[in-house]
């Protein structure tokens, strides 16, 4: 089984920066995708960024140029560097892991979430 634990959330002023971390443990396969999703009050959970085990990354249009996702495969840890933060970035941020298994099978796992609040 897989467990994900996020850290690094908090309160920051507009224009500031935060760095989120997610440590994965358990049954983690060599071919996988890790990522960050967020859910703001009154909105559905949305993709923020993903990164594959081959270090290919993808970003939502709303965060391109401001956020950067990275990972350390040997430790199964993913990071999200968030710069130029805006109030609309306020949300609970969730770490995600998708294990790629033989025969086209995949399993997905979620962390418990960490709160990010951008306010003056």
Residue of 3, 10, 11 whose CA lies nearest to 27: 3
Residue of 71, 76, 70, 69 whose CA lies nearest to 30: 76
Q: Is the pLDDT of residue 103 over 80?
A: no
Contact in structure between 100 and 54 (CB atoms under 8 Å): no
Average pLDDT, the chain: 95
Q: Is the pLDDT of residue 74 over 90?
A: no
First CA to last CA across the chain, in angstroms? 41
**What confidence score (pLDDT) does residue 29 get?**
87
pLDDT tens for each residue of 20-63: 999 999 988 888 999 999 999 999 999 999 999 999 999 999 99
Q: Is the pLDDT of residue 102 over 90?
A: no
| Least confident interval from 63-72, 76-85, 94-103 | 94-103
Give the rounded percent of residues in the chain with a pLDDT score beyond 70.
100
Positive or negative, the CA dihedral 25, 28, 31, 35 is negative
**What confidence score (pLDDT) does residue 119 get?**
96
CA distances to 1, 5, 78, 102 from 31, in Å: 16, 20, 14, 10
């Amino acid at each position: 089984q897989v467990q994900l634990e996020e850290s690094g959330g908090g309160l920051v002023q507009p224009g500031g920066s935060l760095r989120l971390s997610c440590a994965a443990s358990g049954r983690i396969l060599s071919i996988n995708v890790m990522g960050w999703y967020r859910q703001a009050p009154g909105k559905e959970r949305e993709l923020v960024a993903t990164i594959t085990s081959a270090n290919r990354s993808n970003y939502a249009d709303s965060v391109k140029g401001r956020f950067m996702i990275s990972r350390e495969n040997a430790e199964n840890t993913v990071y999200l560097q968030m710069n130029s933060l805006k109030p609309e970035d306020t949300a609970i941020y969730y770490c995600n892991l998708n294990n790629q298994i033989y025969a086209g099978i995949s399993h997905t796992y979620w962390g418990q979430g960490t709160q990010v609040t951008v306010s003056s």
